[in-house]
Structure formats: C-alpha cells, structure tokens
Amino acid sequence: MHTFDQLAAHKNNLDLRWQIIKTIREFFWVQEFCEVDAPSLMRLPGQEPYLSPMTLTIHDENRKEYKRFLHTSPEFAMKKLLAAGYTNIFYLGKCFRDFESFGGNHYPEFTMLEWYRTETDYTNIMKDVEALFLVLAKKIQKDIPYFSSWNRVSMKELWQTHVGVNLDEHLTQDALFQLCVTKGFSPLKQESFEDLFYRIFLNYIEPELGKDDPTIVYEYPAQMAALAKLSDKDTRYAERFEVYVHGIEIANAFSELTNGKEQYDRFKKEQKTREKHKKPVYEIDSSFIDAVHNLPTCAGIALGVDRVVQLFTGCKDIQNVIVS
C-alpha cells in the first residue's frame, strides 16, 4: 500500500489518470452509451484456463458460510444485461485476478473498461478503439501523430511476415509442435495448441507489434476463440482481435458468440484444460449460457485502463499510476 508521500511523488501521473478516466466516460456518454454496474462478487466464475479468480468466504447473519469469487471481468453480468434488452453499454471499474505480479504491467486489482455494441460485429469496435485513443491523445496533447494512423493486420499475415510460415498449415497441435522444434524450442508433447502458439507468437511477433503504428491484430485461430464467434469467411479462425501499442497488449475484443450450446461445449473444454493444469474446476453458470443463447448480434471489448495511463505517462511500473 502506498504511503501519502509516495502518492505525492506520483501526483502528476494520478492527475493524468483522472483526466483519462473522465475523458473515457465523456467519449461514451456523448454517444449515448449507458454506463452499467457489474457485481464484484460472483457465485460462479468464468472458465478461462489461464486466469485465477480470488476466492472469498463470506457469512450471512446466521454465520452460515458462502463461497464467492471476485470477478475477473464484468463480461458475464454485461452479457446478461444485453440479453435482457440493453443495447450499447459500458463498464469502467475494478476487476481482480489472483496469481498476478505486483508491478510491471500487472497488478491483482486493476481498472477495466469494457463496452458492447449491439447489431454489429467487431469491425465497429475497431473503429471505437481508434477513435478513443485519438480523443485521449488530443485531450492530453501527446502522441497525436502516432494515434492518427492505425495498422490492422490479420494473425495469418503476421505469421507469414515474422515467422515465415502459412498459419493455415499450422492449425493443429502436431503441426505447431513440429514448428516449435524447428525454431529451436523444447516443447513438451502434452502442451496445448495455445501454449505452443504463444511460444512462437511471444518470441517472434509480439515484440514487433505497435512500434511504428498502434496495431489491431485480428482473426485468431478457432482454438483460441474464447467467447468469440467463428468467422463467416473461414471457420478455422475466430472474429477476435487484440490491440497492441508500443509492444504492449492493451485490449481484447470479439464478435460475440450467440450460440448457447457452442458456448457450453467450449466451457467444458476449458474445464478439462483447467484440470490438466491442476487449477480449480468450477461449475458452469447455466444462467450465463441462457443469456448467451438470447444475445442479440453484438461485439465487445475489454481494455486495461491502467496500461493506457502507463502509456501516456511513460511509466514502466503500474504501481506508479494507481492508488494502492
């Protein structure tokens, strides 16, 4: 926890933080988005294989114990609101993840911006991202030329450029395993497709992203779809994109999956992955599956606000831009 004199030393960063948060809200308010709440306490968390929710034990007035989880994102609550009839919505608030570092670009408690548009796909979310960063740059009077020009590139193009292979030919675990061996890694036979994918991506591709222009990377392999719908053009890929600025991943977006059965099947696979990694396996939230089945056509994105503040202040350590 910061002392008051540490906070005083970072006051300029914090002043800029409040300005960024205010500008973000104004950006969505002027477009008539509805700002929504999402409960921090959840009865059932998500199934993401590589995330760990914080677990709490709480008590009622009769001292009966209940197990609850702090949300890792507001996604479940927001999609239930969309299924209930809300349209363009955003959330700006705290999220929590266990087993995170206390510095660099990570912190167990962090500020998330998440927004959804209905009756559209992820291409309009791309436009939102580009517009939002330019508005922030102009408000702060920093990096305006940089955020005036964006690069949109498919994952397939990146693999051809930086790895020298056709990603279409490496969409199986076996093919990626052999590629990792060829590239000098020492992968294990039991490693998942996603683990092998990131061995290549994190070493050959990610460090190059966003150097000259902020970059949107789109069309991830279907195995990494998470909660995104598969591409109508090629079902081997998903309508998912991530945003990179100066080599740092800032946001993750989807054209949202609206098939409840497919979402349930994906969660079952993620449960198996969690079990394989010796992580707790949680019950699937049936009310969320019902919500997915009743979603309108929509797209959404989660963006790390603390990292945005780091970018505009030039801070390498997240602790210099938050109050803790």
> Which pLDDT tens digit goes with each residue over 65-90?
999 999 999 999 999 999 999 999 99
* pLDDT at site 1: 63
Kindly tell me if the per-residue pLDDT of 5 is higher than 90.
Answer: no
Tell me what percent of the residues of the chain surpass a pLDDT of 90. 91
Q: Per residue in 138-160, pLDDT tens? A: 999 999 999 999 999 999 999 99
CATH class of the domain whose range is 4-150+213-320:
alpha beta
Q: What is the pTM of this model?
A: 0.95
Overall average pLDDT of the 251-271 stretch: 97
Domain boundaries defined on the chain: 4-150+213-320
Kindly tell me if the per-residue pLDDT of 8 is higher than 90.
Answer: no
3-state secondary structure string, the chain? Answer: CCCHHHHHHCHHHHHHHHHHHHHHHHHHHCCCCEECCCCCEECCCCCCCCCCCEEEEEECCCCCEEEEEECCCCHHHHHHHHHCCCCCEEEEEEEECCCCCCECCECCEEEEEEEEEECCCHHHHHHHHHHHHHHHHHHHCCCCCHHHCCEEEEHHHHHHHHHCCCHHHHCCHHHHHHHHHHCCCCCCCCCCHHHHHHHHHHHHHHHHCCCCCCEEEEEEEHHHCCCECECCCCCCEEEEEEEEECCEEEEEEEEECCCHHHHHHHHHHHHHHHHHCCCCCCCCCHHHHHHHHCCCCEEEEEEEHHHHHHHHHCCCCHHHCCCC
